[in-house]
Amino acid sequence: MEVDNLGGPIRLIEVKEEIFADNRKVAEALRGRLRKEKIFLLNLMASPGAGKTSLIVNTIAGLRSELRLGVIEADIDSMVDAEAVVKAGVPAVQLRTGGFCHVDASMVEMGLAGLNLQDLDLVILENVGNLVCPAEFDTGAHKNVMILSVPEGDDKPLKYPLMFSICDVLIVNKLDYLEFSDFDLEKMRERVRRLNPAIKIIPLSCRTGAGLEVWFDWLRLVSRKEA
């Protein structure tokens, strides 16, 4: 786009749109490559403390005899989560974003390069912890999953509609806190389904194990479909 100016035309470049367009191309190519290699990539998003790493560790324990798992951990700093995953018995790569509050497809490619993909069926990306920026960037994943924990409140779909709109699955974690809070599960369901009627909602507790088998069943199904 050009705008007339006393000194001549000024070229206007919409930087954000260009970034998104470039990222989409990389993401689509990555998704296609992983599909050919029969590797399922899952993008896991949530606020800090919602239980992303806890869910991953539980998933490793529940499915490692059936699926060969690898994990990409993304954080602004620290390697704590990657260390927890390796301790659980699967390979992990730490992406230190150095201030970026999201992961894009190019970053995921760097993470995948650190894993031996020939030995993996499923790679879980633990995205940077927040409900805003990660929702805007296509990572190249085959499915997007988010976690909402009970202590965060049932109003989050009203405050962060994009995140709830782009996800295939919503995990409602820390179900064991339900009786100690005013979190309204049915009201939350209604708010989410107005944004995303097709989303699958799985209430569970990583602490007690309640509902985890429903999550495992979904993951078994979709990972085999992609493969």
pLDDT band at 164 (very low <50, low <70, confident <90, very high): very high
pLDDT tens track for 28-51: 999 999 999 999 999 999 999 999
CATH number at residue 55: 3.40.50.300
DSSP H helical ranges for 114-226: 156-159, 161-166, 185-195, 212-226
pLDDT of residue 73: 92
pLDDT of residue 21: 78
Does 226 score more than 70 pLDDT? no
Q: Which two tokens stand for residue 38?
A: 């029969």
Q: Which class for 133: exposed (0-12), middle (13-18), buried (19 or more C-beta within 10 A)?
A: middle
pLDDT tens track for 105-127: 999 999 999 999 999 999 999 99
Domain that holds residue 83: 2-226
Question: How many domains in the chain?
Answer: 1
- Residue whose C-alpha is closest to residue 100's, from 139, 69, 71, 62: 139
d(CA 164, CA 159) in angstroms, rounded, equals 10
Q: Which residues of 170-183 are buried (b: 16+ CB within 10 A; e: fewer)?
A: bbbbbbeeeeeeeb
Under DSSP, the state recorded for 2 is E
> Residue 69 corresponds to which amino acid?
L
Q: Which two tokens stand for residue 190?
A: 């209604």
d(CA 179, CA 164) in angstroms, rounded, equals 24
pLDDT band at 13 (very low <50, low <70, confident <90, very high): low
pLDDT of residue 4: 52
pLDDT tens track for 169-205: 999 999 999 999 999 999 999 999 999 999 999 999 9
Mean pLDDT of the chain: 91
Give the least confident one: 18-22, 66-70, 94-98, 186-190.
18-22
Does 16 score more than 60 pLDDT? no
pTM value surpassing 0.85: yes
